[in-house]
């Protein structure tokens, strides 16, 4: 029940609360909000939500004028012995006058009580069944576009089961869920591969069924500080109003790719009905507002992982490993009020980051014009870079002639492209008979290099391969997305050491756990590389 009840944005919508407008954000995520009921504006200051997942949450709203002074909401959920859930939803009002007393009795005691009960009964049913299909709400001509789009996707070789799931989602999915489609969450729901689900949405965007969005996420609250439709429009730094901090663009850590239906298929209502509930920050296990020198002890049940306690808007925090029932002490040792959070650190597990998406061959094929703002380098975190080159290609041209040799080289480039794409990588550029490719995992790059060598062998061609992993910088170069930095430079140097019957890798690549699991034959390599004075650990693997 928690994911449904604690989704206060959806709950407010489902119970008939009008959409809200944010008038301003103060310290510790206090907000000034307004809604209109029957044309009459109602304004209030909202304290930050407090919660301990998945047992309780609450919020306090104070009204500057009108018949109500204050409204407090607290929800408590407890697991029952019969595997059900007990829900206690408590709403308390402090009226300003007699009119407020009457308004509270009618609106909250009768109208809202009935709506809340009906909505909770619906959620109780949803907790044990799948989301019921909603009536189709397509744009004019949207049904035909959706049908033709589904046919195109199947013709392009996309899994028909995933195409059918996407068509149903776009046609009958919940409005709020459609406003922000996360590929990896859909993959989990569809019991499908993450790459397959992501590539499905990339293809559906290319044919006009969906739209792609780049979200610059705040590292503290992890909410979108900015959303743009193109990498070119992505600012390298924006301000998060909730946390009061500046956010810089890092394609691996702070930029997530999401999708939404194309308006030509289905227009989605993007209005907000609540802006601070627990489900808006699913990585936060507990959030508590503490006064100066205040301390609270919380007993929480944590799934295995890494957690930290920190104040909203602050970097760092106290990091620890935990699993199962855990007692956590939140302490505010400052002289001012602070909003403290206990949060999971593994937030990217469910996020398709820009670094991952831009290193997919499907993305580069479908969105070749999608580039960063010229002249603005952006960190993409750690990537694995692969370079290839043909051994003795000049001699090969002389021996067989230019035309036959050129044909063989072009065929070898097709082989490389297929090997890279099959491992989830992307060819960044071809340089004569050589290529540069990027991957998010070292093992994928090594497998692709070895597979390409096997496929090319005997053509008669021999393929030299070098692989290194480390931090990279992305930049727009010659109208395309390219990568630079020491990691790229070292990978480019390694290819010259390959004999064509091995892949030369750095020690960082070989130390990767997934590469170790490949159980490759390995041989240490001693070499001096131009531009790298330090001693390097290098290996030949087969």
Residues 298 and 442 in one domain: no
Q: Are residues 191 and 289 in the same domain?
A: yes
Tokens representing 274 are 């609540």
With a CB cutoff of 8 Å and minimum separation 6, the contacts of 239 are 225, 245, 246, 247
Each residue of 81-94: pLDDT tens digit?
A: 887 899 999 999 99
Confidence at residue 398, expressed as pLDDT on a 0 to 100 scale: 66
273 found inside a domain: no
Query: How large is the average pLDDT for residues 90-99?
Result: 94
332 shares a domain with 200 = yes
Give the range of the structural domain holding residue 463, as residue numbers without chain letter.
364-541
Per-position b or e across 161-196, b if 16+ CB within 10 A of its CB = ebbebbbebbbbbebbbbbbbbbbbbbeebebebbe
Which helix (H) or strand (E) segment holds residue 344: the answer is: strand 338-344
**For range 213-237, the mean pLDDT:** 84
Indicate if 120 and 143 belong to the same structural domain.
Answer: no
Cα distances from 171 to residues 136, 188, 209, in angstroms, run 5, 20, 11
Domain-located, residue 184: yes
The per-residue pLDDT for range 21-53, each reduced to its tens digit, is: 999 999 999 999 999 988 889 999 999 999 999
Domain end (from 307, 328, 358): 358
Which residue, 358, 383, 412, sits at the end of a domain?
358
Q: Phi and psi dihedrals of 200, rounded to 5?
A: -60, -45
Q: Are residues 111 and 208 in the same domain?
A: no
**Average pLDDT of 288-311?**
94
Which of 92, 126, 160 marks a domain boundary? 126
Mean pLDDT in residue range 492-496 = 95
Residue 13 CA to residue 279 CA, distance in Å, equals 14
With respect to residue 55, please indicate whether it lies within any of the assigned structural domains.
yes
pLDDT at position 347 over 80: no
| Residue 133 located in a structural domain | no
- For the chain, give the mean pLDDT: 90
- Which residues, 6 or more positions from 494, have their beta carbon under 8 angstroms from its beta carbon? 387, 466, 467, 468, 504, 505, 506, 529, 538
Is it the case that residue 428 has pLDDT exceeding 70?
yes
The predicted pLDDT at position 451 comes to: 96
pLDDT given for residue 30 in this prediction: 94
Query: 528 or 340: whose pLDDT is higher?
Result: 340
Q: How far apart are CA 435 and CA 340, in angstroms?
A: 49
How much is the average pLDDT of 60-68?
A: 92
Instruction: Yes or no: say if 115 and 90 are a contact pair by the CB < 8 Å rule.
Output: no
Contact predicate 452/388, CB 8 Å: yes
Confidence category of residue 134, pLDDT binned at 50, 70, 90: low
Helix or strand or coil: residue 474?
Answer: strand
Q: Is 228 in the same domain as 142?
A: yes
Q: Which segment of 188-192, 243-247, 522-526 scores lowest on mean pLDDT?
A: 243-247
Same domain? 343 vs 471:
no
Tell whether 203 is covered by a domain. Answer: yes
Bridge partners of residue 325, in order along the sequence: 301
Q: Does residue 276 belong to any structural domain of this protein?
A: no
Query: Do the domain assignments include residue 132?
Result: no
Mean pLDDT to the nearest integer, 426-430: 94
Which range has highest mean pLDDT (223-227, 336-340, 375-379)? Answer: 336-340
The structural domain count of the chain equals 3
Same domain, 253 and 116: no
- Does the residue 97 lie in any domain? yes
* 398 and 523, same domain (yes or no): yes
Give the pLDDT band of residue 176 (cuts 50, 70, 90).
Answer: confident
What six digits make up the tokens of 46?
Answer: 């909202």
Share of the chain above pLDDT 90, in %: 68
Query: Do residue 143 and residue 55 come from a single domain?
Result: no
With left for phi above 0 and alpha for psi between -120 and 50, is residue 84 left, alpha or beta?
beta
Among 60-64, 190-194, 269-273, 294-298, which stretch is predicted with the lowest mean pLDDT?
A: 269-273
CATH at 98: 3.30.530.20
Q: Are residues 340 and 372 in the same domain?
A: no
- Cα 102-105-107 angle, rounded to 5 deg: 100
CA-based diameter of the chain, in Å? 100
Residue 133 has pLDDT above 60, yes or no: no
Which CATH number does the domain housing residue 406 bear? 3.30.70.1230
Judged by phi (left if over 0) then psi (alpha if -120 to 50, else beta), residue 454 lies in alpha
Report the C-alpha gap between 515 and 483 in whole angstroms.
Answer: 23
Q: Give the confidence band of 395 by pLDDT, cuts at 50, 70, 90.
A: low
Q: Span 126-133, mean pLDDT?
A: 70
Whether 309 and 406 map to the same domain: the answer is: no
113: pLDDT strictly greater than 80? yes
């Amino acid at each position: 029940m928690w994911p449904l009840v604690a989704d206060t944005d959806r709950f407010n919508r489902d119970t008939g609360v009008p959409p809200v407008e944010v008038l301003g954000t103060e310290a510790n995520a206090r907000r000034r909000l307004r809604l209109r009921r029957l044309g009459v504006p109602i304004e209030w200051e909202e304290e930050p939500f407090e919660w301990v997942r998945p047992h309780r949450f609450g919020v306090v709203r104070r009204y500057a004028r009108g018949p109500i002074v204050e409204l407090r909401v607290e929800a408590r959920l407890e697991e029952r012995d019969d595997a059900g859930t007990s829900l206690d939803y408590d709403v308390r009002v402090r009226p300003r006058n007699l009119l407020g007393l009457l308004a509270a009795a009618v609106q909250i005691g009768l109208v809202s009580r009935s709506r809340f009960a009906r909505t909770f009964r619906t959620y109780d049913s949803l907790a044990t069944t799948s989301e019921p299909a909603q009536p189709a709400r397509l744009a004019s001509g949207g049904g035909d576009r959706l049908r033709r789009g589904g046919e195109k996707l199947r013709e392009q070789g996309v899994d028909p089961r995933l195409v059918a799931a996407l068509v149903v989602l776009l046609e009958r999915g919940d409005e709020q869920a459609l406003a922000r489609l996360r590929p990896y969450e859909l993959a989990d729901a569809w019991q499908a591969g993450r790459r397959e689900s992501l590539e499905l949405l990339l293809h559906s965007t290319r044919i006009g069924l969906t739209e792609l969005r780049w979200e610059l996420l705040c590292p503290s609250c992890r909410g979108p500080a900015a959303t743009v439709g193109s990498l070119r429009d992505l600012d390298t730094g924006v301000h998060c109003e909730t946390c009061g901090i500046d956010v810089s663009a890092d394609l691996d850590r702070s930029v997530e790719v999401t999708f939404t239906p194309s308006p030509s298929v289905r227009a989605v209502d993007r209005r907000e009905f609540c802006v601070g509930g627990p489900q808006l920050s699913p990585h936060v296990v507990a959030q508590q507002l503490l006064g100066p020198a205040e301390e609270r002890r919380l007993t929480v049940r944590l799934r295995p992982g890494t957690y930290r306690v920190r104040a909203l808007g602050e970097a760092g925090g106290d990091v620890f490993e935990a699993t199962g029932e855990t007692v956590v002490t939140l302490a505010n040792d400052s002289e001012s009020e602070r909003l403290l959070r206990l949060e999971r650190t593994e937030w990217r597990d469910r996020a398709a980051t820009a670094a991952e998406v831009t290193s997919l061959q499907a993305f580069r094929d479908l969105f070749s014009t999608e580039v960063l703002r010229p002249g603005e380098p952006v960190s993409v975190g750690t990537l694995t870079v692969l370079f290839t080159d043909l051994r003795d290609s000049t001699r090969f041209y002389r021996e067989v002639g230019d035309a036959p040799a050129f044909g063989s080289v072009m065929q070898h480039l097709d082989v490389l492209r297929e090997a890279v794409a099959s491992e989830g990588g992307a060819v960044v550029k071809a340089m004569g008979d050589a290529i540069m490719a990027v991957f998010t995992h070292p093992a994928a790059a090594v497998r692709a290099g070895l597979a390409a060598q096997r496929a090319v062998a005997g053509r008669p061609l021999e393929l030299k391969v070098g692989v290194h992993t480390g931090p990279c910088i992305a930049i727009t170069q010659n109208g395309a997305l390219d990568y630079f930095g020491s990691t790229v430079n070292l990978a480019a140097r390694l290819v010259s050491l390959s004999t064509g019957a091995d892949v030369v890798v750095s020690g960082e690549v070989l130390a990767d756990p997934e590469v170790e699991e490949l159980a490759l034959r390995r041989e240490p390599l001693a070499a001096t590389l131009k531009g790298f004075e330090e001693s390097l650990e290098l290996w030949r693997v087969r």
